Amino acid sequence: MSYLTKSPWILHYDASSCNGCDIEVLAALTPVYDVERFGIINTGNPKHADIFLVTGSVNEQNREILKNTYDQIPNPKVVIAVGICASSGGIFRECYNVMGGIDKVIPVDVWVPGCAARPESIIDGVVKALGILEEKRKAMKIPAGDTA
Amino acid sequence: MTKQIIVPFGPQHPVLPEPIHLDLVLEDEKVVDVIPSIGYIHRGFEKLVEKREFTEYVFIAERTCGICSFIHGATYCQGIEQIMGIQVPERANYLRTIWSEYSRLHSHLLWLGLYADSFGFENLFMNAWRIRERILDVMEQTTGGRVIQGSCKIGGVRKDISNAKLAEMNRDLDSIKREMEELTTVFLKDDTVIHRTRNVGVISRQDAFHLGAVGPTARGSGVAIDLRKTGYGAYGELDFPVITDSCGDCYSRCLVRCKELFTSVDIIQQAIAKIPDGPVDVKVTGAPNGEFFMRAEQPRGELVHYLKGNGTKFLIRSRIRTPTLTNIPPLVKMLQGCDLADVPVIVLSIDPCISCTER
Among the four given CATH numbers 3.40.50.12280, 3.10.20.580, 3.40.50.720, 1.10.10.10, the one describing domain A9-139: 3.40.50.12280
B343 and chain A in contact, CB less than 8 A:
no
Residue of A nearest to B62 (CA): A18
pLDDT score recorded for residue A148: 47
What average pLDDT values come out for chain A (148 residues) when binned by 10 residues? 72 84 84 81 84 87 85 88 87 83 88 87 87 83 60
B38 at A interface, C-beta within 8 A: no
Asked if residues B177 and B96 have their Cβ atoms less than 8 Å apart, the reply is no
User: Can you point out the beta strands (E) in B10-125?
Assistant: 21-27, 30-37
Smallest CA-to-CA distance from A18 within A90, A66, A111, A67 is with: A90
CB contact B65 to A (< 8 Å) = yes
Residue B279's φ and ψ, nearest 5 degrees, are: -70, 165
Chain A residues whose CB is inside 8 A of the B51 CB are: 94
Residues of B with CB below 8 A from A94's CB? 48, 51
Task: Summarize pLDDT for B231-245 with one digit per residue, the tens.
Answer: 888 888 888 888 888
* pLDDT tens-place string over residues B324-338: 888 888 888 888 888
Q: Which of A10, A16, A18, A105 to mutate to test the interface with B (most CBs of B within 10 A)?
A: A18
A2 and A44 Cβ atoms separated by less than 8 Å: no
Give CA–CA dist A16/B18, Å, rounded. 9
Q: Which amino acid is at B43?
A: R
Contacts of residue B51, Cβ cutoff 8 Å, sequence gap at least 6: A94, B314
Residue B57 has pLDDT above 70, yes or no: yes
Nearest chain A alpha carbon to B106? A23
Q: Quick one: pLDDT band at residue B246, thresholds 50, 70, 90?
A: confident
The predicted pLDDT at position A3 comes to 62
Are residues B300 and B327 in contact, defined by beta-carbon separation less than 8 angstroms? yes
| Closest CB from B11, B43, B147 relative to A23 | B147
Length of chain B equals 359
* CA A9-A12-A18 angle, 5° bins: 155
CA distances from B53 to B76, B215, B250, B308 (A): 13, 31, 43, 13
Q: Using the beta-carbon criterion (under 8 Å), do A26 and B14 form an inter-chain contact?
A: no
| pLDDT recorded at residue A79 | 92
B122 touches chain A (CB under 8 A): no
B contacts of A96 (beta carbons < 8 Å): 44, 47
- Per-residue pLDDT, averaged over B66-80, amounts to 89
Nearest CA to B95 out of B75, B74, B80, B68 is that of B74
Rg (CA), chain A: 15
Given a cut of 80, whether residue B19 has pLDDT beyond it is no
Domain with B262 in it: 4-358
Contact predicate B238/B351, CB 8 Å:
no
Residue B85's domain is classified under what CATH number?
A: 1.10.645.10
Question: Is there a contact between B43 and A98 (Cβ–Cβ < 8 Å)?
Answer: yes
